[in-house]
Amino acid sequence: MADESLEQLATEAWLYGYPLLTAEATKAVMTAVPARDDERRKAPVNQFAYMRRTPDASFTEVVSPNADTLYSSAWLDLSQEPLVLALPDFGDRFWLAPILTAWSDVFAVPGRRLDGPTAGPFLLAGPSWTGDTPPGLTLLRSPTAMNWIVARYATSGPPDFPAVNRLQDRTRLIPLSAWTGDPDDHTPPTDVPVPTGHDTATSPVDRVEALSGRAYFSRLNRLMVDNPPHPADAAFLDRVAELGIAPGADLENRPPEVLAALDAAAHGPDALRSLMARAESAGGQVNGWTVHRGLGEYGTDYAKRAVITRFGYGANLDADALYPHATTDADGRPLDGAHAYVLHFDAGRTPPVRGFWSLTMMNDRQLFVDNPLDRYAIGDRSGMTTNPDGSLDIHIQHDNPGPERENNWLPAPEGSFNVFLRLYWPEQSALTAAWAPPPLLRRDADVS
């Protein structure tokens, strides 16, 4: 019984540490270049990579990507000195630049909702910095040294990309020691040493979930030194102290039964899938959709934080975005490309947003699905055709539904799939659940 208790505790600790290890693995994959490489969506630490077009089915670095925005992505190391974040004037365009801690919580969110057309410049400082904030800069202090900025710019498609690209070029990071007050005075280095010893060919999720228990927890202990746990985690860390889990702790001399429990906890991926299934079938469901709320700020709900890291890493705060998620149709049957589905919105009942909305297709690995149209999402900027009564039908299936419906077609894979509705800057009716997405209706035709 004692060993079973240790194993359960170790599994909880595995879930606790999952965001931190995923952050490190994702950072390693996305920064393994000597200079910015927009084509590969990579840049050295403390530099932006500008994703000049929306992701396609080849994009595997981050689960549950979106095809509605262009990204500027940067992994930060604030352990040595702060960085200045300079932003352009975005005019009327919807924009968002959330900054995530190493534990996947959003600690700051510059964007249109809070700031209007522009904001900053900001001074981004880590937990150990003790200097004074220079005049003209607004301090944003992160509780961790490792952080991820994922700036998003709404786009209406390829003809709009050049205008967004110009805004990306004006989204910049400058070390405080090089800051003169003018972002144009700094040119990022192009010969940054690339760290060795990292597997950058394997996806971050697969890398983390392949670790043995002891390797996993040794890495967690190391990472917690520069990325300290939140003060609210103290009670949990007291519980797992007997396992040797603590910032900087060494696992080598732990008792055999403890090491066995740590190794057994490497079944964590199974725990994640189980948690995800429970989340999809538990509270928050309406019309077959699960509306995950409270994203981006998880407190001590470590299981929820791990699940969102695995299935939607980089999620925004509710006030900035909601992500209703469907894995089944209105009758509870798993979504599958052997069948055709329709998402029907009555007139005036499309998702209520002040930003924009879309429906995004994911395969069973939470990645985009290759298809003849290179269409991974469809939404309010897609030019869909409404019905004569003003209602809207989105056709979700593997095979092309024909020329009359192709404009409203979201292609599905042959097998299992799931879909996200994305509501950017949702209106109050969506935040309070007064509005709910309609059910996904399976049409009887078997299209296999």
pLDDT in tens, 336-359: 999 999 999 999 999 999 999 999
What's the alpha-carbon Rg for the chain, to the nearest Å?
A: 22
Structure token digits, residue 179? 């800051």
On the 0-12 / 13-18 / 19+ scale of CB atoms within 10 A, 289 is buried
CA nearest neighbour of 399 among 318, 341, 335:
341
The rounded distance, in Å, linking the Cα atoms of 74 and 424 is 21
Burial class (CB in 10 A: 0-12, 13-18, 19+), 98: buried
Q: Write the CB contacts of 61 (distance below 8 Å, at least 6 apart in sequence).
A: 26, 29, 30, 41, 203, 204
Residues 6 or more apart from 82 whose CB is under 8 A from it? 123, 124, 125, 126, 129, 131, 175, 176
Closest C-alpha among 217, 168, 224, 178 to residue 50:
168
Q: Give the Cα separation of 230 and 268 in Å (integer).
A: 22
Please work out, in degrees rounded to the nearest 5, the angle formed at the alpha carbon of residue 184 by the alpha carbons of 180 and 188.
Answer: 90
385 backbone dihedrals φ, ψ, rounded to 5°:
-95, 125
pLDDT at 281: 57
pLDDT of residue 156: 84
The reported pLDDT for the residue numbered 185 is 94
What domains can you pick out in the chain, each with its CATH number?
2-11+206-269 (no CATH), 33-185 (2.60.40), 286-446 (2.60.120.600)
Q: Tokens 């980089």, residue? A: 314
Residues of the chain with pLDDT under 70: 1-4, 61-62, 276, 278-284, 444-448
Q: What pLDDT shows up at residue 1?
A: 39
Cα torsion 11, 15, 16, 17: sign: positive
User: Which pTM value belongs to this model?
Assistant: 0.86
| Residue for token pair 């002040």 | 354
